[in-house]
Amino acid sequence: MTIMKPNQTGASHTVALLIYENCQGSAVSSLVEVLDIANLYAGRGEPLTTPLFRWLIVSPDGKPVATMGGIDMAVAGGPAQVPAPALIFI
């Protein structure tokens, strides 16, 4: 796919990443990086006023989650505590 113009829709797509105890932290950070790169390409290297994607990291109970490697990941809350996303990754 070739992106010809920067994002001109003016709307961001909110994505929620639902994480859980003992998840792989690298899987979470890899997905965030993919969304960040998509924003970069959507702007053709220019900073976007409105990014194509925004993301929230959430957990089932809204509390921080310990990853498989023992790293605590902060979350924005639980699914019921954040605005409804366009897409949820589990």
pLDDT, tens digit, for every residue of 46-56? 766 688 899 99
Does the structure show a pLDDT above 50 at 3? no
pLDDT score at 1: 42
Q: Is 8 a residue whose pLDDT tops 70?
A: no
The predicted structure's pLDDT at residue 11: 79
**10 to 27, 38, 42, 43, 82: CA distances (angstroms):** 29, 15, 12, 12, 21
Q: DSSP character for 76?
A: S
User: The pTM is what?
Assistant: 0.79
17-42 per-residue burial string, b: 16 or more CB within 10 A, e: under 16: bbbeeebebeebeeeeeebeebbeeb
| Residue 44 pLDDT class (50, 70, 90 cuts) | confident
Tokens 């690298």 identify what position? 26
